[in-house]
Structure 1
């Protein structure tokens, strides 16, 4: 556990310091070039730094054990931070998108396409190196916070490559019938950035909200848990009736209600089935706890699994 905490901190510090350098470079480039698209990228990076700083400060809490007073530990705090980050990115997106539309309606903004394409090419190469390093460091971890950071760097690489190509291509508009698009190209790219980033960001945001209010995980996760636990119960002649699955942050709690085929069940057999279920789930889900609960054979309150 201590090793995981140290590795998470290393990844977050790497993201924080490199993100700080990128944000500064992008702000200076946005001022120098007058590009709304570069400014939007800088604002994204700067807003992410605030959340990464909070993550580093609160990291020890995520790994504290659960207690009677805190049955979920501080796992929900991690989901709340993901929500805060998602909302901050959305607010930055809406604000800068409105600014881009305003600039476009006022006549557009001419920028040096070659200059911006070279800058974005350099950013893309450096971001790719950082992304590869973070993915290697994250091989043995299962952290929503780190997964979101890695996703953010993936977006940075794709965005920088696409933006570099787009601005380089814009230099060929001059002398063509499409030359009139040149002053609006910067705003057009900034809007495309929003359309590219929003779907996955909203998906992560909604997942974090579900985790906070303790709604069961997505169908793919539920189906996988049912498949793994169902196989274990079948081996021990137990029939699953209902799955109560709760996920918040990086922790998953699985309660499987079951019935027996006969009238008796040995304690050792139940303990063996529970150990096997936990071992099976642990191979696929980190920080996952499973318990088997006998359902009332005469009750009809629980729906079928």
Structure 2
């Protein structure tokens, strides 16, 4: 992985951890003060996000180490591993919130201070939206799986804040109408609906990272670009090239290519090296650290 990408990871993860700590403290305090299940969940989610971001920072530092006797194939597998762990933790937080919302609804709901809750929601929307946009923009030039997972976390937090704010405005309006007795159900009902919606984000994180850990084929776009690179290299090579296997593990792209040799022909080592250089030139355009293996078949 290039130095710029590593530095970008550190900047993004450090920024995310600092902002998460601010929202975590604010969400927990305001949630307890106004008696809102949703705001308290937002604070807990931000706290978990901060801890997971610190974990990502530690892993990013660990991934910088070169391969050794303990990890002869490098440490790329730690990236999908930590993303899976983050997805599982977020999934547990959402599942517990779903359970709490159901219990609260069965208990008859509860009243909240909608004025303070709405103000806090507006501040959260602006803060989370700016952070989400900033991190996504920083990830465009030097993309990373760890930062991608961080973007998903902030996307969830921003959408959560928007829904919270809108719901509290609706709850405040309800208190001014004959529907006032039903305003106590807004907070738990909102939490219930959000839990069902947001549960797909950690599930997708886990699914994607698990595919990498199982060395499954990457998505179609990556496969197509690898095929295009091999076809282009085939036109410039004196040997026939055939893709044997391709998989993505974290920030690394592993590509195995067979050189089809005629039984009566001998392949010169210089030809193999020239073919390797051509392939590396073509495939290095992908935003991953290329691990290329050539086999004479």
TM-score normalised by length of structure 2: 0.89
| Deviation string, structure 1 residues 131-186 (Cα, Å, up to 9, x no partner) | 33323433332321111112211222222122212221232334656555422111
- Matching residue of 2:257: 256
Task: Rate the CA distance shift 1:138–1:270 in 2: closer, same or farther, 3 A.
Answer: same
For the 8 Å contact 1:238–1:261, the answer to whether it is kept is no
| 1:235 CA drift (Å) | 3.6
Work out which structure has the larger RCO, using CA pairs closer than 8 Å and 6 or more positions apart in sequence. 2
Farther-moved stretch of structure 1 (141-150 vs 286-295): 286-295
Matches within 5 A, 1:270-281: 270-281=272-283
- Matching residue of 1:39: 40
Distance across 2 between alignment mates of 1:283 and 1:154: 28
- Matching residue of 1:302: none
- Matching residue of 1:82: 83
Q: Secondary structure at the match of 2:218?
A: coil
| Deviation string, structure 1 residues 233-287 (Cα, Å, up to 9, x no partner) | 2442554444312322211211122425895444433322321222222212221
* Cα RMSD, aligned residues only: 2.4
Task: Rate the CA distance shift 1:293–1:33 in 2: closer, same or farther, 3 A.
Answer: same
Note the residue ranges of structure 2 that are not aligned, 5 or more in a row: none
Farther-moved stretch of structure 1 (72-81 vs 213-222): 213-222
| 1:30 CA drift (Å) | 0.6
For the 8 Å contact 2:230–2:243, the answer to whether it is kept is no
Task: Rate the CA distance shift 1:243–1:197 in 2: closer, same or farther, 3 A.
Answer: farther
Q: Secondary structure at the match of 1:66?
A: coil
Q: Secondary structure at the match of 2:141?
A: coil
Q: Secondary structure at the match of 1:75?
A: coil
Matches within 5 A, 1:212-251: 212-236=213-237, 238-251=239-252
Matches within 5 A, 1:47-126: 47-67=48-68, 69-126=70-127
Task: Rate the CA distance shift 1:137–1:211 in 2: closer, same or farther, 3 A.
Answer: same
- Matching residue of 1:5: 6
Distance across 1 between alignment mates of 2:269 and 2:279: 15
- Matching residue of 1:198: 199
Note the residue ranges of structure 1 that are not aligned, 5 or more in a row: 296-305
For the 8 Å contact 1:237–1:261, the answer to whether it is kept is no
For the 8 Å contact 1:226–1:243, the answer to whether it is kept is no
- Matching residue of 1:161: 162
TM-score normalised by length of structure 1: 0.87
Distance across 1 between alignment mates of 2:264 and 2:119: 74
- Matching residue of 1:298: none
Distance across 1 between alignment mates of 2:261 and 2:118: 66
Distance across 1 between alignment mates of 2:220 and 2:4: 32
Structure 1 residue runs of 4+, over 6 Å off?
Answer: none
- Matching residue of 2:30: 29
